Structure 1
Amino acid sequence: MDNDKPEECKVCFDNFDEALRRPRSLPCGHTFCTVCIVDMIKNSQFTCPNCRADHNTLALTDVTQLPINYGMESFIRRLKGVSLKPAQTKAPTKRPQDGPRGISKKLRSLLQEEMNKVISLITACDEKLSQLGKYGKKVKDLKTGHNLLEDRLNGLLEQNKAAKELVEQEETSVEDMSTEGEEEKQQLQAVLECLDTVNSLQEVGMAIDDADRRSVVTEDWIQKCQEQFPNVNTVHTSVKVQESIRLALDMIPTEAVATAAPLHLGDSASTILEKFDKINTNKLTVDDLGRMRQVLEAGRVYTVHQDQHGLRSSRITTQDGRLYLHTLQSQPAPLHAHTIQFTDVVGTLDCSSTLVFLDLGWAGSTRGRVHIRLSPNTPAGRQFTLLCTGQRGHTYANTNLLKVYDKGGKWERLLGGDYQYNDGEGGASLLPDLQGDYRGSGSAGDVGCYYVDDAQSAQFIIFTRDHRPSGCYSAVFGKVESGLEVVKAAVNHSNIREVTVVDCGVVLTM
């Protein structure tokens, strides 16, 4: 390959420029002009013409995915500058002609400006066509999604239709049986009247025989009603189909989609895909959570939070009819998850009483959930909530328990909560002042700390036995509402430092 002309593309042999034929580098390091690389991509033959390295595995769809070789551009500009300088030893060169056909230098400059504009527009067209191609795929995916939903909706309609037919058949059976029962009742009334009006021994015998025959028929009808109704298959199918469809409909917003407030798409300079991604978000409101039982049970609802700690997310789950907001994690919400702003959810917490939870585990599995009712009017209670939600960047999640005091004795209690070092040396306060009105501990399940002005005041203790408050210096700010048996099982574990707070968070009140 000829390397005497580095300013030249080795495919088309045209010089590189800073407009249409900008130099771009392949992963192998060789450089070619933008036009030739576009042709490679269009022909799906992306092999380096120089070293024959195969780059098809990159699956490139747009030439802008390859970097511009700015070093080559700088070299070309320098090369042009050198070639324009006259030699110092030669006589001054003659002023060049204005060009072919006598076009003046000024007009040529104007032509070059127009050419540059057109080239820029061509590049802009290429970029927009590339965006349209990608957007077209997104639109096609939306259409596919509608087709799949339509199939599922048609499936629901077919189920509803089949269940409705069963119910209609049952309705007909009930009407037929009711008609038969009315006839039986009239026959019995006639028999009763006959029994009441007999005047001879012969009439008595005939009336009794008629009554016996009618009684057998009526008893058969009563037995048939008892055995035939309700039709278990019909009622069960109807109830289940209605429940499934009702749950699906309950997830649809009450307001019409067409009347939703217009969405602001931001800067007009945003690309088509950037604007599409802004529209295509599964954002929720707090009011939506109560209608999304199935989605919550599937673990597909997350809160998102952006602050000085970066973008974080936390799960919202449901269990035993309760909604749980888990601690924030330093990671974005999963793709296709339904999202809601963390601050919107936290804003629903009851200011007078907060229920938090700690999931304790050991030996590689979660052993149980501990619910603790806090008093947010105490600073230590508010701090405990912050460390359960992780909204200040620190969390009790993934910390181990530290120590058991007076194991087996009347003062038995465990220590945990070193979110800093996880060895008992950390756990500094998140709030500037924890002074407040606290009570002393007097019963099993009390949650508190020893000293609110201690360097490790974020560490907590949980008492496991009833005891007298005298001699105990803990500042109580909470009470185990359920799960004390999990705490006691942790205390009895052979090595308390093997017990960890697997997860934590707050219980939402909706």
Structure 2
Amino acid sequence: MDVPECNVCHIPLDEEEHQPRHLGCSHDSCTACIKALIKNGSFECPMCRKVIKANTAEDLPINHGVIQVLRLFKSFKVSEREPNEEGSTAITKELCKIHKCIVDKRCITCKVWICVQCKELHIPGIGCEIQAYNEALKEMRKEHKKQVEPTLSSIRNNLQSISSKLSGIESEKKKLEEEIEKLDGLHKDLQKAAEDGTKVLNEIVAATVKADKAITSKEFDESVQTANEWHQFAQVWCKINTDFLPEKNKFDQEGYATMNINGKSTQCKISLGHGNVYFHCFRINGFNINKSMKIYSHEQIKSLLSAARDLVFLDLAICGQVKGRVTIRLRQDLPTYAKNIPLLFTGEKGHALLGLSCVHCLDHNLGISGSITTNINGFKQDSNAGYTVTQGSILARWSGNNIDTFYIHHEQGIQPYMITYEVFGQIETGLDIVKLCKNHTDQREVTVIDCGLVVK
């Protein structure tokens, strides 16, 4: 309990300058505050604003109830702290609940603390047993200790269990840290092994590529004929596989080419070595692959090429839209034609019928024609004995120059001017495609979008 304070200045009240006085409005204030508030014989209550008439603070009555409380606080006496058995100090002596005096004994029978005046109420030997303060305090301490001992014991056991669990957790943590350290070491070892393996693999690949290039360059440098066979083989190979449409048929000395395979830009390589020709693609749309395609010996290539040079094809289109394929069987008894015409279908000499427009219609009822007007040692005059112009004949006209002009005849019968024409081939399939193209209004829109040798 605290000492009462003034309601205005909150300074502890006393019996001098801060003596408590009634204001007549159920509120109190100290003498010092009242003196400061009085002006012209009156002042307002600081709490309720009621006007209080008074010339001086002494005109107002003293609050004796508060004075008695102040005197009671002054009567409190606290004993000195005395050390107990455990070395701590004794608690402060409390006041008697009846007489408000400091207690000095305890009635064990009534279980209350008593002061000097209470001895008349608690007489030893007549129902009450009196015990000295310190002795009673020790007994009470022992009793309290006995009461709280089970709780303390339970707390100790819980703490011990928690400590044991924490120790186990710490041990598991240490084991996990050791395992993590081992895994980190293993991870580093695997990374190093992977790096070493990659390094070795790159060295092997580099050595292999270097060897391949050396062999390829050597083969090309040794024999131009080998390079020509190689180039021809690429032409034939692309025609054998219907999925392969050559985009560029020019190879460098290392044997690489770019082709359009199923609509994808594909880089291919043809390798020469050990008497064989190896054809494989290694990159599609920028992604590296390794897929071998075919292996041929030089003898097989020569046989394949020689067997393929009497059957050629033309893929015709109108306004860029494919209409179909025309296959043509070439005459082998015309030495010049037999040698030169297949070159125009394969483009081996740099010139081909690919992209050729059928620039005009020789006779709307007879057929269509096209020409290459560059001097490329193409069509030259051969004997035409024993051959007549029939439906599906392929004709060439030689007028003393080296201009290659061919005609596809699709009707029966001939015209007088065709006597000077030479028949160098016959359509085997696709005559209907020729008729369709012939009936188109603008022959310049009829083009050859692909051509080459047919190998079966």
TM range (shorter): 0.3 to 0.5
The higher radius of gyration belongs to 2
Higher helix proportion, which one?
Answer: 1
Higher strand proportion, which one?
Answer: 2
- TM-score (norm. length: structure 1): 0.35
